Amino acid sequence: MTHLAPIDFWFSIGSLYTYLSVMRIDRIEELDGVAFRWRPFNVRAIMAEMDNRPASKPVKAAYLWRDLERRASKQHVDFNGRPPYPLKEFDLANRIAVVAADEGWCDDYARATYARWFGLNEEAGSEPNVSNSLREIGQDPARALALAQSDAVGRAYDAATDEARGLGIFGAPTFAVNGELFWGDDRLEDAVRWLKAGTLKRR
């Protein structure tokens, strides 16, 4: 077990680059002896406030898809073409993640739902992805959905989004370490180095 404080992993199911982090973060934990605290939030709301939605910017979106394919190949993460995007049930996907984070199975849920979304074109947050992913990781879909749709979880989801906004987070994934923010899957290793050394300089 690591003696280091966990890195806050701010993510939204539906963020494309978050897919890369979700599918490799367990390897980072094992190799580097660090832990991550899964923090689902509504990045879509924050990006809308900033008028920074890739789907509305065709040139940026085209680059994003190609870059995602390249990085997936580099990291040995499956990429079988463009999955359905953007998610129609973005909030439900993330409210389930709020439940999962509270109960300790968020990593399993995120990996399962992303694997089905990218690998099988089963859209995260919609059926059959939701029920299939939850059953795959040993969770009861009816129970998880009831909790996810509750007012209490809705308030927790909004509170997490407010917290992310207050920290200055503007995109996902973002890794927060001792007040330092590292935005993007390509900054995951930098976040780990900062946690361990408080610097990005090699010593």
C-alpha 135/C-alpha 38 separation (Å) is 21
- Residue 1: is its pLDDT beyond 60? no
Pairing verdict, β 36-40 and 174-177:
unpaired
Please tell me the predicted confidence (pLDDT) of residue 3: 77
Mean pLDDT of 7-26: 98
Instruction: Indicate whether this model's pTM tops 0.85.
Output: yes
pLDDT tens-digit series, residues 27-82: 999 999 999 999 999 999 999 998 877 666 789 889 999 999 999 999 999 999 99
C-alpha 47/C-alpha 51 separation (Å) is 6
Return the axis-axis angle of helices 151-167 and 90-103, rounded to nearest 10°: 90
Please tell me the predicted confidence (pLDDT) of residue 203: 60
pLDDT tens-digit series, residues 133-149: 999 999 999 999 999 99
Mean pLDDT score across all residues of the chain: 95
Please tell me the predicted confidence (pLDDT) of residue 51: 82
Please tell me the predicted confidence (pLDDT) of residue 55: 64
C-alpha 190/C-alpha 198 separation (Å) is 10
Which residue type sits at 62?
A
DSSP string, 132-155: HHHHHTT--HHHHHHHHTSHHHHH
- Architecture of domain 7-197 in CATH? 3-Layer(aba) Sandwich (3.40)
pLDDT tens-digit series, residues 88-110: 999 999 999 999 999 999 999 99
Q: Taking CA 47 as the corner, what is the angle to CA 187 and CA 159, rounded to the nearest 5 degrees? A: 90
